[in-house]
Amino acid sequence: MKKSAWLPAVIAPVVVAGAVAAPMIANASSDPVAGTNPSAADVIASIAGSSDAKYSGKLVQTSDLGLPELPTGSGGSSLEGDASDALGLLTSSHTARVYVDGPDKQRVQLTQQLAEQDLVRNGSDVWTWDSKERTATHVTLPKDARTPASGAATPSDIAKQAIDAITPSTTVSKPKDVRVAGHDAWQITLTPKSTGTLVGSVRLAVDQQTGLPLRATIEAKGQSDPAVEVGFTSLQYGAPAARLFDFTPPTGATVETKDLSDAAAHGTGDAQHRHGRTGDEPTVTGTGWSTIAELPKGSVDQTALGDDASGLLDQLTRSVDGGRAVQTSLVSVYLTDDGRVLAGAVPVSALVAAAE
């Protein structure tokens, strides 16, 4: 989906995993934890039981990353306009409707001014739709494949990544009783012990009855307001109407088709969603909250950028030793002169050091 990430390259490096704290959760129950005084391990384990949940709801995402505000859709080229639109997703509030009927039936509708983006999964069929561009993509997934990224990060997405980041370098609070979207929830806070990360804490609110993550809040060090927050403002349990998982592109739409049904023969897991591409996976260094992901030489050729793209790059980044970089309140990105890209929830200086 074009401009298809609410949190592009932000959440992954922020809570990229070290090793899961197996001793902490090995003996925890995956049952709901209502009416008890659960441990943090109990709350974390209960999330696994929500994979088959059926519900519909409204999500609101807000971001305050300290990014420059560019007028949405501005610029003299489609590249500049698309980049401005993507930045707009990270500098203001956005809303999505979410419909889920178990692991293989989902619909996410991301609404923007005078436009809508949809991702619809019904079994092995996945449709994406961009009303502004009037473009649709139909993907046939391999058996047992996970749903591709929808463009709307949910509390469950962030919860999974945050839980993966639980290592000996993380302090986990006792659960606190809170209410989210009219539902009782247990809230736990993950706080990095590392001084080398930009992340201050991650708060997760988990439904006491179902284990479904209802809200995720990421705070940056030294910032009073959340850097990123995604949460339900309304949520109703029960299977949504079956028609919501059917999609037919409007007349006159541009449609692209991708058949990945045999992708299992070439790999499993996430590799199934890279359309057979190899050699473009990042190299990961460091551990826990200070993890750095690096794409290889030649990933970005700054000398080949046109005037519009070069101007936009100059606006978003500053010159540093060996390249250009941008540091938000929560994540940094470093583009080296030899075309490498490094990113992580760390200061730019850590990226520059890692690139040497």
- 202 and 56 share a domain? yes
Query: pTM of this prediction?
Result: 0.76
Q: What is the pLDDT of residue 86?
A: 46
**Residue in 311, 307, 330, 305 with CA at minimum distance from that of residue 91:** 330
Residue pair 206/48 in contact by the 8 Å Cβ criterion? no
pLDDT tens, residue order, the chain (356 aa): 333 333 333 333 333 322 222 223 333 445 667 777 898 888 888 888 888 899 999 998 888 887 655 544 444 444 444 444 445 555 567 888 999 998 889 999 988 777 788 999 999 999 999 898 899 999 998 876 665 554 556 677 766 666 666 667 788 899 999 999 999 999 999 898 888 899 999 899 999 999 999 999 989 998 888 988 889 999 999 999 999 999 999 999 999 998 887 765 444 344 333 333 344 568 888 887 888 889 888 877 766 666 666 776 777 788 999 998 988 898 888 989 988 989 888 999 999 999 98
Q: Examine the fold and report which residue of 242, 274, 306 is the final residue of a domain before the chain moves on.
A: 274
At position 296, the amino acid (one-letter code) is P
| Residues 259 and 298 both lie in one domain | no
Same domain, 238 and 208: yes
For the purposes of burial, counting CB atoms within 10 Å of the CB of 12, is it exposed (0-12), middle (13-18) or buried (19 or more)?
buried
| Strand partners of residue 49 | none
41's tokens? 């391990």
Pairing of strands 54-63, 228-237: antiparallel
Residue 74 sits in the same domain as residue 199: yes
- Same domain (yes/no): 182, 89: yes
Residue 6 in any domain: the answer is: no
User: Inter-axis angle of helices 307-316 and 78-88, to 10 degrees?
Assistant: 30
Q: Which of 183, 231, 233 is nearest to 204 (CA)?
A: 231
Region of 91 (left: φ > 0; alpha: ψ -120 to 50; beta: rest) is alpha
Does one domain contain both 226 and 261? yes
In a domain, 155, yes or no: yes
List 274's β-bridge partners, or say none: none
Are 68 and 46 found together in one domain?
Answer: yes
Same domain membership, residue 210 and residue 62: yes
185 and 112 belong to one structural domain: yes
Report the phi/psi class of residue 349: left, alpha or beta, with left for phi > 0 and alpha for psi in -120 to 50: alpha
**Domain contains 117:** yes
Give the CATH number for residue 231.
2.50.20.10
Question: Domain end: 274, 298, 316, which one?
Answer: 274
Give alpha helix (H) positions in 139-284.
155-164
Final residue in a domain of this structure, among 253, 274, 295: 274
**Is 144 within the bounds of a domain?**
yes
Element (H, E) at 353: helix 348-355
Indicate whether 16 and 83 sit together in one domain. Answer: yes
Count structural domains, the chain: 2
Same-domain check for residues 194 and 299? no
* Residue range of the domain that includes 154: 11-274
Quick one: 46 and 115 in the same domain?
yes
Would residue 89 count as lying in a domain?
Answer: yes
In a domain, 232, yes or no: yes
Specify if 120 maps to a domain.
Answer: yes
For 83, the 3-state DSSP assignment is helix
Sequential DSSP letters for 257-300: EEE-TTGGGT--GGGGGGTT--S-PPEEES-GGG-EEEEPTTS-
Residues 6+ apart with CB under 8 A from 265: none
